[in-house]
Amino acid sequence: MNNQLKTILLLGVLTAILVWVGGIWGKSGAVIALVIALALNFFAYWFSDKMVLAMYRAKEVLPDEAPVLYRTVKELAMLDNLPMPKVYIYQSDNPNAFATGRDPNHAAVAVSTGILDLLSEQELKGVLAHELSHVKNRDILIATCAATLAAAITFLARMVQWAAMFGGGDRDRQGNALSLAGVLVMAILAPIAALLVQMAVSRSREYIADSGGAKLSGNPIFLANALRKLETAGKRRPMRNVNPATSHLFIVKPFSGRGLLSLFSTHPPVEERIARLEKMTV
């Protein structure tokens, strides 16, 4: 299934879930939810990349502001016959990176200050090649739309929880109103559905981007060593104030999932990713 079809299905899921939640308040609630869903679908396609960059206060940099970073991105983009993406840096001790945008002509690559302090130039090259592989494979639109979808579902689940606490319902549907237990179950399942959406679009594409990035950088060990460092440092310095709905965008998890969250990890195990990269050198 190509990413264009996946994106259409993803936005369709968003619409269905929002209308379902709106239906708790009756027909009028469903209609309002449908309008909101259509607006979110439009926003997700055209502006979700800007939302993610703004969320982490990423600042666009020019060649003289980050010469090594900019030069490496430019060289890799030329090598892979890609348009030059915009380059961003965001402030965070957590070493990480992500790509966003709706297509290769409107792409952006963002790295944290922490990753610039941690990695060697070769390791940074491996990470940037991984992100440009996402751009070339057109993963970035569906990944960014998934972030918007997951954030919307989580937000609506919180609304339902508040409605349940204060006596939700609709006079138009008094005879068929959802019970408090049903509302609470839905409110619990919605965030899990958001995580499942992230999983569906994230795990397989990470392996593909690892392979593509390894080939583009010229040496799989560059990325393997980078992933090893990122995993270790990330556990010591998890990202603060990260939105879980965007966690699948990053090259490694920006926070350590525990308990139920660990069952819905948006990333494959780093150990497995490293093992696959090391096999490419044999």
What residues are labeled active site? 131
Identify whether the C-beta of residue 256 lies closer than 8 Å to the C-beta of residue 230.
no
* SS3 (DSSP) at 219: coil
Query: Phi/psi of residue 250, each to 5°?
Result: -80, 155
Tokens at 60, concatenated: 């666009």
Is residue 274 within a helix (H) or strand (E), and if so which, with residue range? helix 270-279
Alpha-carbon gap, residue 262 to 243, rounded angstroms = 16
Alpha-carbon gap, residue 23 to 49, rounded angstroms = 30
Alpha-carbon gap, residue 132 to 79, rounded angstroms = 11
Alpha-carbon gap, residue 58 to 131, rounded angstroms = 16
Alpha-carbon gap, residue 154 to 261, rounded angstroms = 14
Place of tokens 């792409």: 107
266: CB partners within 8 A, 6+ apart? 195, 198, 199, 202, 203, 247, 248, 253
